[in-house]
A = this chain, B = another copy of it.
């Protein structure tokens, strides 16, 4: 997606060998016009699929996901990170390890908001090692929901997430695909 790649080139900050910070327009400060354009792009890309609901994870997935849900005229559910020691009843759960933060989050979705045979599109801000998407796939599997695909804003193709999802036969569509960084510059695929 051209305007997204341009924005990443202009405002993204490369940290170290494999971290891209996009906190000025995606996951701390948010550009709503860009989110709207991305949501419409996801709707166009997945227009051949029957989609009943979008599923994402708080917090950074919410902004792109709500605009995809608006463009597709379906509700969106965001999996919550559970901070309490006692797990609520009647929730689907998964553990998601964050390589960046080196912590494990317990994510959950209420049974009322994910049902058997629902066709869901997963939307998230980044695809790197694939842990977040794997957690949502586990929840969808437990709920007997049908995952029609995964929409990702920024994919880092040099990390293992894409390979894991390809091997599982999951359709993955990314708005920007980054194959690496050279001299703190982003190299798109």
Contact = CB atoms under 8 A, between A and B. Distances in A.
Interface of A: 23-25, 28-33, 35-36, 58-59, 62-63, 66-67, 69-70, 73, 75-78, 80, 83-84, 101, 103, 109-110, 112-113
Contact of A59 (B78, B84, B110): B78
A136 to B, nearest CB: 14
A112 B78 contact: no
A69 B25 CA distance: 13
Nearest to A69: B32
Given A32-B73, A62-B63, 4 more contacts: A24-B113, A30-B76, A32-B67, A62-B66
A107 B110 CA distance: 26
A185 B23 CA distance: 42
A66 B70 CA distance: 12
Given A35-B66, A36-B70, A101-B83, A76 B110 contact: no
Given A58-B58, A110-B23, A28 B77 contact: yes
> Most chain-B CB neighbours within 10 Å: which of A28, A67, A69, A84?
A28
* In the A-B complex, the 6 residue pairs with the closest CB atoms: A32-B70, A58-B59, A32-B69, A29-B113, A59-B59, A62-B62
Central interface residue in A25, A36, A62, A84, by most chain B CB within 10 Å: A62
A29 B75 contact: yes
